[in-house]
Amino acid sequence: MEAPRLAHTMSSPTSPCEEVIKNLSLEAIQLCDRDGTKSQDSGIAEMEELPVPHNIKISNITCDSFKISWDMDSKSKDHITHYFIDLNKKENKNSNKFKHKDVPTKLVAKAVPLPMTVRGHWFLSPRTEYTVAVQTASKQVDGDYVVSEWSEIIEFCTADYSKVHLTQLLEKAEVIAGRMLKLSVFYRNQHKEYFDYIREHHGNAMQPSVKDNSGSHGSPISGKLEGIFFSCNTEFNTGKPPQDSPYGRYRFEIAAEKLFNPNTNLYFGDFYCMYTAYHYVILVIAPVGSPGDEFCKQRLPQLNIKENKFLTCDEEDGVMVYHHAQDVILEVIYTDPVDLSLGTVAEITGHQLMSLSTANAKKDPSCKTCNISVGR
């Protein structure tokens, strides 16, 4: 049977987690720091007889939960009534900044059979490094606690979003996708030097590269999936690609059917915004059976190429017809190399709008449109 969830130490009756803690019937107390120092009014004393947890093991890690267990000496084991857990984000310059600042990191739970499950989106974020230490405690008749020394400090990292979480994002994205508009080409903007380099060093073929860390913090494709970014959005009044771009003044255009057809699979990768009114959806196109296809099949929700809310490919009167969602900006990742000879490269006439760049862009964690109820 799964152990009960842990509750936060609450500093005031207006804590955002108060209702959750009440429902779980767990206690919340003020805890001492890892170094053993205590607040004068904490009411916590030390009792050397309580066993100190050691050999801590972390398992079953998800984006917002994990299981924890440890070994204890048998002496005074029967006196243990509670476990205190100190959970902190590992200090580093690239740490995730989206944690709610009013939530303490010290947790308390009644002593239950190990391993116990720690879960909660209000204090656990996906793909984030944490440190954890444990104390055993004994509640006295007067309400005070005696505690053991802290255990050793263990490090671990939470996981990416699962398919279940991505499906929740997908459903949110579908709500605002809007009506479908026709398209005929995919396009990729870069500087002239990029295309010159591709011709000279890669035999005229653009090569997949690892996706950056833009978008949702828990996205399983960031820093892992290799592909080539393309755009496909069109201007409403012309039906053609816009002439402005944040990525360079030279554009490679390729007929849609050369990248997206019945021999490719389509996957939903992410949904996010960057403190703006417009939203981005990342889709992945992978040739059937390719390494990119195998990667996505295990991690991403697959879309029906003929019928979905974002990008469709269907045959009408013997001709392939393509549509894209009007009200989101689509970023399409193609997972195989693409030869420049399959399309054309030309200079665009518009402006280079750097403010629209999504390179390593961070998602707005407060947006109710594109966030789900798991750790940010």
Q: What's the maximum distance between 2 C-alpha atoms anywhere in the chain? A: 82
pTM of the model: 0.79
User: What integer pLDDT is reported at residue 102 of this predicted model?
Assistant: 39
Confidence of residue 333 (pLDDT cuts 50, 70, 90): very high
Count of alpha carbons within 13 Å of 312, Cβ hemisphere only?
17
**What is the domain partition of the chain in residue ranges?**
54-158, 163-347
Predicted local distance difference test score (pLDDT) of residue 74: 79
pLDDT value, residue 24: 31
Whose structure tokens read 């030390």?
46
C-alpha distances out from residue 53 to 3, 49, 73, 133, Å: 18, 12, 8, 9
Query: Which helix (H) or strand (E) is 58 found in, with range?
Result: strand 54-59
What pLDDT is attached to residue 248? 81
Architecture of domain 54-158: Sandwich (2.60)
The reported pLDDT for the residue numbered 25 is: 30
Give residue-wise pLDDT tens across range 310-324.
999 998 888 999 999
CA dihedral over 162, 180, 280, 257, signed as positive or negative: positive
H or E stretch including 166? helix 163-176
Neighbours of 321 (CB within 10 A): 15
- Residue 195 — very low, low, confident or very high, per pLDDT cuts 50/70/90? very high
pLDDT at 13 over 80: no
* Residue type present at position 229: F
Return the pLDDT at 279: 94
Lowest mean pLDDT among 43-47, 244-248, 357-361: 43-47
Contact 268, 296 (CB under 8 A): no
> pLDDT of 129-185, one tens digit each?
999 999 999 988 888 888 899 999 999 999 999 999 999 999 999 999 999 999 999
Note the pLDDT tens digit of each residue in 72-126.
Answer: 987 777 889 999 998 888 865 444 444 444 344 678 888 888 999 998 766 788 9
User: Residue 298 above 60 pLDDT?
Assistant: yes
